[in-house]
């Protein structure tokens, strides 16, 4: 699996254009059910709004899948709202993300160019407010070692590209490490050498995780 970029959790940003308010709400989503639930939530919170335009990009099942892309202008002139919102998400390289841009009409017509610009800028502000994360196929390793070998083990792990998730200190030290799937063999070989062949390492099944 190649890595992909998404957002962590949610983000909200707002701009004003000729007295109209444009509120961009972004969420990390993984299924169309989650998209629809998020859209319903935003609509419910903005019942007085004139439009709740949306766009989303889903990875849809991972490797080999083409993904799913949708948008809606929600009553705005065709291609002035949903498509610009979608294009911002795509230009940012995001997937597994939904954006809903809520418009409170301010009484001044913006014209098609003004609408495209406003929806684009609102979505861009939402992306800038979001925390972007890169998700990769990873494995987690649990390593038990003695206090005497703890520092040496952390150096070896860092040299092999592993990140320390957490460390437990009891009668021994337990480290939880994460690394890209497929890169763990050199580390496992060095750990076996360090621990003189004792089986003190557990490796998880591959998971999609931020790395």
Fold of 4-129: Ribosomal Protein S5; domain 2 (3.30.230)
Per-residue 3-state assignment (H helix, E strand, C coil) for the chain: CCCEEEEECEEEEEEEECCEEEEEEEEECCCHHHHHHHHHHHHHHCCCCCEEEEEEEECCCCCCCCCEEEEECCCCCCCCCHHHHHHHHHHCCECCEEEEEEEECCCCCCHHHHHHHHHHHHHHHHHHHCEEEEEEEEEEEEEEECHHHHHHHHHHHHHCCCEEEEEEECCCEEEEEEEECCCCHHHHHHHHHHCCCCCCEEECCCEEEEC
Residue 10 confidence (pLDDT) = 94
Domain ranges of the chain: 4-129, 135-210
In the predicted structure, residue 1 carries a pLDDT above the cut 60: no
Average pLDDT for 145-170: 89
Q: How confident is the model at residue 62 (pLDDT cuts 50, 70, 90)?
A: very low
Pick the CATH number of 135-210 from 3.30.70.260, 3.30.460.20, 3.60.15.10, 3.90.1170.20: 3.30.70.260
Q: What is the pLDDT of residues 43-61, one digit of tens each?
A: 999 999 999 999 999 987 5
Residue 66 confidence (pLDDT) = 56
In the predicted structure, residue 65 carries a pLDDT above the cut 90: no
pTM: 0.75
């Amino acid at each position: 699996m190649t890595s992909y970029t998404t957002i962590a959790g949610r983000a909200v940003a707002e701009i004003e254009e000729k007295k109209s308010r444009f509120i961009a709400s972004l969420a990390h989503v993984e299924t169309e059910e989650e998209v629809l639930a998020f859209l319903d939530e935003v609509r419910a919170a903005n019942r007085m709004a004139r439009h709740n335009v949306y766009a989303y990009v889903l990875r849809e099942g991972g490797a080999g899948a083409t993904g799913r892309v949708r948008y809606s202008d929600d009553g705005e002139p065709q291609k002035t709202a949903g498509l610009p919102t979608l294009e911002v998400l795509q230009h940012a390289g995001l997937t597994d993300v939904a954006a809903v841009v809520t418009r409170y009409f301010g009484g001044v017509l913006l014209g098609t160019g003004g609408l495209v610009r406003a929806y684009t800028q609102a979505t861009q502000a939402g992306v800038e407010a979001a925390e972007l994360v890169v998700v990769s196929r990873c494995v987690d390793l649990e390593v038990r070692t003695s206090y005497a070998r703890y520092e040496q083990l952390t150096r070896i792990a860092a040299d092999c590209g592993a990140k320390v998730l957490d460390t437990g200190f009891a009668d021994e030290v337990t480290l939880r490490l994460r690394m890209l799937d497929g890169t763990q063999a050199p580390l496992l070989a060095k750990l076996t050498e360090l621990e003189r062949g004792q089986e003190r390492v557990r490796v998880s099944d591959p998971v999609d995780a931020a790395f």
